[in-house]
Structure 1
Amino acid sequence: SVNLSQMDAIACFNLSHYELCFPQLNSSCRRTKRPHTEAVLIYILLSSISLLTATLNLLVIISISHFKQLHTPTNLLLLSLAVSDFFVGIIMSFQILLTDGCWFLGDLICSLFFILDFIVTSASVGTMVLISVDRYVAICIPLHYSTKITVRGVTICVCLCWVCSILYNGLIMNDNLKQPGRHNSCSGECVIVINHIAGVADLILTFTGPVTVIIVLYIRVFGVAVSQARAMRSHIAAVTLQRSETVTAKKSELKAARTLGVVVIVFLTCLCPYYCSSLVGQNAMFGVTSVPFETWLFYFNSCLNPVIYAFCYPWFLKSIKLIVTFKILQPDSCRANIL
């Protein structure tokens, strides 16, 4: 048994590690106290990741939007992904405020924060599905690619993806918008509740279903890509000029498939822990007063995508050079040859 003096010592030890978010309120939540050096390092690290994520994806957005040579169906999908990743960088700046466990921006902003987070997540997953379909058609049925995958068609699909994400997440978050903060247990908390049916539907529509489609399509893509690569190696010595052009085109498509395959694999690696943790501890309640590792891993994926482009797409490095040197402000810079 523990005597009273020991219990008092334990209570004092616990209280020494916490302080109130709002000292003037008896109903205030408690915030975690950290050593000054540790707190500074955490803020610098997370702020750097947030700034880098927003900056790199903004460069992708400017590059694809500005240069006409980059107005291709595949790049429009990358543009959609960059937009969602840019918003993730913005969301991360709000998450930094939560490292000590307190939310100071009010209940309405809390609900809007969650809606933006859910919309961006849904749009990212939807865009990944579209990227997988794009690569499937390009590699598996290349003769129909130019007719089935067009700039206009991809633009419509991307717009529908975002509109559906907004409407869907607005629907499942409707109750939390009507009465923001009604599920908070103390002042300084940010919690929303989604009913069980909506939670199951969300898990299927934004994780299980899309991930299954992505995996199935890319298994097929890589199977065909491997067989095409073997065929090209076996006939490379006896090609004509016309055949050489065809081989070059195929190599370009295979390289794009590999690059986007890396993007998809990294995305799934960062996404699965996030949803699996939600699935294991699924109680339809989500709080942002504590930010677990898997959430930051999911957000960090948005910083990795532009880095992958920089290593795999020469046009991205060329466009960055033109942007940072302000040469994109010159007349007809949108028609510059960067491929």
Structure 2
Amino acid sequence: MDNTVAPPLCFHGVNLSCRRQLRPHSEISLLYTLLSCISLLTVTLNLLVIISISHFRQLHTPTNALLLSMAVSDLVVGLLVMPIEGLRYMETCWLLGRLMCALMSLLSYSLLSGSLGNMVLISIDRYMAICDPLLYSSKITLNRVKTSICLCWACSVLYNGLILKDHITWPNRFSSCHGECVVVISHISGIFDLLISFVGPCTIMVVLYVRVFVVAISQVRAMRRVAVAVSAAPAVKRSERKAATTLGVVIAVFLMCFCPYYYPALAGENTSTSLSYFAALTWVMLLNSCMNPLIYALFYPWFRKAVKLIVTLRILHAHSRNTKIL
């Protein structure tokens, strides 16, 4: 006699409801604890970046405006995407309905493309600062950077809206039962997306950074050979080179986290959330949102100083916005 108990339904009393995959209680507790810690850490660190750049006037620069845009994106990932993706994996049921199934996919893909677009803008910013320092301040202004950021995010939402058009209008298209949220991007669309939203931008970033470091090295050698004051030389300042190095590390980590996401397209498969290994690819990508502020903390003294002022509540003091950070 078979005493096996069938897994419970995701939605009791609903025809064609999916069945919940049972997991040991200890495993569920561990996963929820880990998810909560990662999500909280991501939100906290990025919130510190946002407060730092927004509050202190000395940090209101074009480069930091781009970092602020990245931090807002990473904050949304930690606040919404991480908990919902974790819930999808641990509960094995989609409990948020058709509308959220459509909107969360659009949000996740838009954050991916928007972040990549911000990385391209950061590369252009560093290229201009290192390779054309005399014209940098006139060409790269704060208002132009803000406009570029807005255009970047608008294009990201529009582009991903077109890619996910079928999914948005028919979220249950690939669901086999009620309680699934399956997103499928065909192999052809996946290859197109790989070329447009990853290979193209990455090529631009790599070419620009190779040029940046070649010029930076040549300028350092020139300064050593010529005994003149650094302030009178056309070479870039040390702070500019350090910023380029730091942002180069950010981009390198970004690429390492996002490359695995495009494995299905490279392997000739449809990109689908139902793939057995898709959760691993997604979480490697999402962890990048937590790593960026850690990189800033390691390489940017101004960030460490700003965090100290925030934690000790000294930013509440009068005229704290004018505190010397750099």
Does the Cα contact within 8 Å between 1:194 and 1:285 map onto a contact in 2? yes
Aligned-pair CA distance for 1:312: 0.9
Q: Which of structures 1 and 2 has the bigger CA Rg?
A: 1
Q: Does 1:280 align with 2:289?
A: no
Aligned-pair CA distance for 1:294: 1.9
Alpha-carbon displacement from aligned partner over 1:131-161 (angstroms, at most 9, x marks no partner): 1111111112222211221111111111110
Q: Distance in 1 between matches of 2:162 and 2:306?
A: 39
Number of the residue aligned with 1:89 = 78
Aligned-pair CA distance for 1:233: 3.8
Aligned-pair CA distance for 1:196: 5.8
Number of the residue aligned with 1:52 = 41
| CA pair 288-159 structure 1, distance change in 2 beyond 3 A | farther
| CA pair 96-291 structure 1, distance change in 2 beyond 3 A | farther
Q: Distance in 2 between matches of 1:170 and 1:250?
A: 42
Q: Work out the percentage of aligned pairs sharing the same amino acid.
A: 56
Number of the residue aligned with 1:123 = 114
- Give aligned pairs, total: 324
Q: Which residue among 99, 107, 120 is the counterpart of 1:108?
A: 99
- Name the amino acid aligned to 1:96: G
Structure 2 spans left out of the alignment, 5+ residues: none
Q: Distance in 1 between matches of 2:120 and 2:268?
A: 26
Does the Cα contact within 8 Å between 1:108 and 1:181 map onto a contact in 2? no
Does the Cα contact within 8 Å between 2:183 and 2:273 map onto a contact in 1? yes
Q: Distance in 1 between matches of 2:265 and 2:244?
A: 31
- SS of the residue corresponding to residue 225 of structure 1 reads helix
Does the Cα contact within 8 Å between 1:98 and 1:289 map onto a contact in 2? no
Does the Cα contact within 8 Å between 1:98 and 1:290 map onto a contact in 2? no
Aligned-pair CA distance for 1:181: 2.0
Q: Distance in 1 between matches of 2:316 and 2:267?
A: 51
Q: Distance in 2 between matches of 1:279 and 1:139?
A: 35
Q: Distance in 1 between matches of 2:278 and 2:186?
A: 22
Aligned-pair CA distance for 1:202: 2.2
Q: Distance in 1 between matches of 2:190 and 2:278?
A: 20
Q: Which residue among 249, 265, 268 is the counterpart of 1:262?
A: 249
Aligned-pair CA distance for 1:174: 2.7
Counterparts of 1:52-71 in structure 2 under 5 Å? 52-71=41-60
- Using the size of structure 1 for normalisation, the TM-score is 0.87
Number of the residue aligned with 2:323 = 336
Does the Cα contact within 8 Å between 1:95 and 1:291 map onto a contact in 2? no
Counterparts of 1:285-324 in structure 2 under 5 Å? 285-287=272-274, 292-324=279-311
Does the Cα contact within 8 Å between 1:47 and 1:96 map onto a contact in 2? no
Does the Cα contact within 8 Å between 2:223 and 2:230 map onto a contact in 1? no
Does the Cα contact within 8 Å between 2:9 and 2:18 map onto a contact in 1? yes
Aligned-pair CA distance for 1:333: 1.9
Q: Which is worse superposed, 278-287 or 155-164? A: 278-287
Q: Which residue among 169, 172, 180 is the counterpart of 1:181?
A: 172
Q: Distance in 1 between matches of 2:230 and 2:210?
A: 32
Q: CA RMSD in A?
A: 2.5
- Using the size of structure 2 for normalisation, the TM-score is 0.90
